[in-house]
Amino acid sequence: MSFPEVGLSCSSPASSGGDRRSIPVLGMGTGVLPFTPDQRAKMKLAILQAIELGYRHFDTATLYLSEEALGEAVAEALQAGLISSRAELFITSKLWCSDAHRDLVLPAIRQSLRNLKLDYLDLYLIHWPMSLKPGELSFPIKSDDILPLDLRQVWEAMEECQRLGLTKSIGVSNFTRKKIVELLDIARIPPTVNRVELNPVWQQNKLREFCEEKGIHVTAYSPLGGQSSSLGRNLVLESQVLKDIAEAKGKTVAQVSLRWIYEQGVSMVVKTLNKERIEENTKIFDWELSDEDRHKISQMPQYKRFYIFLSHGDMFLIKKIEDKNNY
């Protein structure tokens, strides 16, 4: 099985290659926090199962601690003949905030490549529009460690990563329109992707329209509402609107949510280690929503669910990251 792909913006003439990249619409996320040692084997097995089912985009990050498991799975998939070459895969990783400093960007991507045992990434993203004090990777974040992001300096280093061939494309994650405008004003190589929380209860219509206007592709994370609130609810999977559509279509709520995202021209990364759900998520391409379905979804109340945890003494606070950084 092969999944549809979406073309990314052409690289700048100043970058290496200048080729047009394509990103598979459906990808697998590997961000399981906290990532414990016993999850490594489960993650590797799930990635191999996903490759067998046709997945070709895999999303990781320094923060997730899953780069080594992904790299091992890629090596095993090559050895087993599940793929004929590394070039069949689209691998994304991300720069964590403590490395979001000009002199730390190149060492960070090189460490990610060592973890993955790869020569290059297909896409490297700034994980959040913020910096932390340099140091060891730590999560939850200490509020006292948060620093303003020197976007010009960090983006110049990201551009150098692309010019050196360490990544085919560069982009951002969790950037608002305001931050993208700031970036486009200084960028020699514009971002190809903005990876953001997106699902039927957080549709990001204005941001998607803006990114399309600027030639920036949007990739959705938490497409099934996985970033739940402090009450532990998942407003996507609990939605009666989506349940009614799913029942009428003979599909699951998850499939309806993913199909809606696909119909928006957005790619997505879905996170699960369950083989049945990995396969279920692939069954969204041979049917479509009706105009009535789309209208009902467009009228759903909107709630942003992603929160970042900040440590404060012995207590953990939950705070929206955009409140902290005023973007």
Helix (H, G, I), strand (E, B) or coil at 255: helix
127 is in an annotated binding site: yes
- Determine the Cα–Cα distance for residues 191 and 307; give it in Å rounded to an integer: 24
DSSP state of 301: -
- Determine the Cα–Cα distance for residues 83 and 55; give it in Å rounded to an integer: 11
Kindly state the tokens that stand for 271.
């996170």
Backbone angles phi, psi at 323, to 5 degrees: -65, -35
- Determine the Cα–Cα distance for residues 324 and 94; give it in Å rounded to an integer: 21
**Residue 155 burial (10 A CB sphere; 0-12, 13-18, 19+):** buried
Backbone angles phi, psi at 117, to 5 degrees: 55, 45
Catalytic residue among 64, 120, 124, 262: 64
- CA 227, 97, 63, 85 torsion-angle sign: positive
| Omega before residue 24 within 30° of 0, cis | no
- Determine the Cα–Cα distance for residues 140 and 143; give it in Å rounded to an integer: 9
Active-site annotation holds for 262: no
Cβ neighbour number for residue 232 with a 10 Å cutoff? 6
Phi-psi region of 326 (alpha: psi -120 to 50; beta: other; left: phi over 0): left
Give the residue numbers of the binding site for substrate: 127
Q: Would you name the residues annotated as active-site residues? A: 64
Give the residue numbers of the binding site: 127
